[in-house]
Chains A and B, each alone.
Chain A
Amino acid sequence: MGCAALLDPLAPGARAAVVSGPPLGGGRALALIDGNSFYCSCERVFDPKLARVPVIVLSNNDGCAIARTAEAKALGIKMGDPWFKIRQQCQREGVRVFSSNYTLYGDMSARTNAVYRDFSPAVEIYSIDESFLDLSDVRDRDRVTLARDLRATVRAWTGIPTCVGIGPTKTLAKLANHIAKTIPDMDGVCDLTDPVAYDHWLCRISVAEVWGIGRASLAKLIGLGVDTVADLRDLDPRPVRKAMTVVGERIIYELRGLACLPLELMPAQRKGCAVTRSFSRRITERETLEQAVAAHATRLGEKLRRGGLGTTHVSVFYHTSEHDRGDPMRSVSTTVTLPEATNDTLALIKAAQAGVARTWREAPSERPWRYSKAGVVTTDLKLLEDAPRALIGQLDRQRSAPLMAAMDACNARFGRGAVVPARAGLTEKRTWSTKFEMRTPR
């Protein structure tokens, strides 16, 4: 399909807001800036020996690789590779391996966003290492200069290397960022609000790189003969809606320069919250599982209280590992209903333990279930002050709120785990707790 066909907001089926006027998006410009191999770059800032050597960062519990430098990617280490599979290769090739240090990454993320705010009046923090910036006020021809200045400033002040993609919509900004990152000649900046660049790149980039195109959608699109981003843009949105839902339709409009995704400056209220961890060793005893679940419920309570949120349902799950071939397998999940919305740690623990009590099965001692992971999950969070009170079985909020506030204050002052309900076990004695064997100091 041709690339010259620019956007036609009045094309059949165009239902998003119609923008008239000059080139793409009516002068709207969004930038997506993200840190290159962000977690690895954070580690590199403070240890110059890590420059130019392969570095990877492992997920919680040292489970799998979640960040890789270009050197590590070149060795064939993939995103999500389990640590036990790449351990020998890493030792052989001299890869520097780190447990994740979220305190450090969070601090560096806050620093980069502080710099972004000097460059743009509106910044949406999309994830720990990606932010959208509104650059609509910047003149077309100055945008690339500003983006280069931004990159240089972030690099100088925080030490973090970044890439910037600019486009009239979020989807195009994300695509521009991909181009900036993968094409060395771009020098880390790509501006798709420039019609020449837009025409040039859209018919050269694979549709697989478009934000929101998953594996299933990709297969459907290839079936439709779609190969490049330009091919997708030029599809008639209505049949796409049938095949790929409204999400697919929205992507087409966004690729045409019609913004369907606004900049979200206020973080959306959390709808769900989960605390799940793998155990550092397999566990078989009920008491240990109860302790772990209570500790997760404690953490869940902290998270909910920070947002002033409450929940009326607590789901508990625990299961054996899929890697333990030949061992008996068991996976359990159950949901416990509370009389009314709460974020009281003690009530959450009680609910979580009721979930364990309901589902625990004693195994024959010669072939016990060896559980590898447990978690507590809520999916119906609401602002506690808005939640209706129960007529029967009302929880004592008068007493619980000050107690929880005191517990949170102690933990903020003396470190997490200073004051915990006894059911959760003392931090030092938690033999099941997550491993961080290679964490940098923080």
Chain B
Amino acid sequence: MSPYAVDELILGSTDAVRVPVIGHALCAGFPSPADDFIEGALELPRWLVPNPPATFLMQIRGESMRGAGIHDRDLACIDRSLRAEDGSVVVAVVDGQLSCKRYRIVGNRARLDFDNPDMPAFAVDEYGEVELWGVLRFSIRWHLARGRLS
């Protein structure tokens, strides 16, 4: 991997995009308590959010995506205009809930996996139609012990 070259930075595009944080939590392990939510919005640079109308921020709940470096209470940035590929981290509809999963294409079938060595590989046994909600572009993690977005 080559380090960033200066000319790769998009100069002059300092305009920020305001992306609201949607109050619904994103299930990655256990169902979320519905009343617990955060409010507000983040100002993100446009190069991180190339398609604002399709971009949503939601809070992760649970540890089932630990292997992807996504942990409980992280903030996921989801782009609904991206197409999922083998290996994408996606938001899918599982049991009527929005949940964060690893998307795999095995042969000509799609599969949703957990990404946590302590958990079984597949999240869904019977996968006829997988309904995808969006694809994760990146996630944000607070490292301050009491750090919380509010």
Contact = CB atoms under 8 A, between A and B. Distances in A.
Interface of A: 46-49, 103-104, 107, 110-112, 114-115, 156-159, 440-442
B23 A157 contact: no
B35 A441 contact: yes
Interface in B51-75: 51-54
A440 B81 contact: no
Nearest to B51: A157
A185 B131 CA distance: 25
Given A441-B35, A442-B39, A157 B24 contact: no
B54 A158 contact: yes
B51 to A, nearest CB: 7
Contacts of B96: 47-49
B69 to A, nearest CB: 24
Contacts of A112: 53
A157 B93 CA distance: 16
B112 to A, nearest CB: 14
B80 A158 contact: yes
Question: Which of A47, A49, A442: most chain B CB closer than 10 A?
Answer: A442
B136 interface: no
B77 to A, nearest CB: 14
B90 interface: no
21 contacts: A46-B22, A46-B24, A47-B96, A47-B98, A48-B133, A103-B20, A104-B22, A110-B53, A111-B53, A114-B52, A114-B53, A156-B80, A157-B54, A157-B80, A159-B80, A159-B133, A440-B24, A441-B23, A441-B37, A441-B39, A442-B23
B15 to A, nearest CB: 14
- What's the dominant secondary structure at chain B's contact region? mixed
Contacts of B131: 48
A112 B52 CA distance: 11
Contacts of B81: 156-157
A230 to B, nearest CB: 39
B145 interface: no
Given A46-B24, A48-B93, A157 B53 contact: yes
Question: Which of B23, B34, B52, B53: most chain A CB closer than 10 A?
Answer: B53
A61 B94 CA distance: 34
A107 B56 CA distance: 11
B64 to A, nearest CB: 18
A158 B24 contact: no
List the 6 shortest-distance A-B pairs measured between CB atoms, nearest first.
A441-B23, A441-B37, A157-B54, A49-B96, A114-B53, A111-B53
Contacts of A47: 24, 96, 98
B39 A48 contact: no
B24 A441 contact: yes
B107 to A, nearest CB: 26
Contacts of A49: 96-97
B98 A48 contact: yes
Nearest to A118: B53
Nearest to B81: A157
A115 B83 CA distance: 18
Contacts of B22: 46, 104, 442
Contacts of A442: 22-23, 37, 39
B23 A440 contact: yes
Contacts of B93: 48
Nearest to B21: A442
B34 to A, nearest CB: 7
Interface string B94-121: 0011100000000000000000000000
A49 B31 CA distance: 13
Contacts of A46: 22, 24, 98
A441 B98 contact: no
A104 B37 CA distance: 14
A157 to B, nearest CB: 4
A107 B52 CA distance: 11
B38 to A, nearest CB: 8
B34 A441 contact: yes
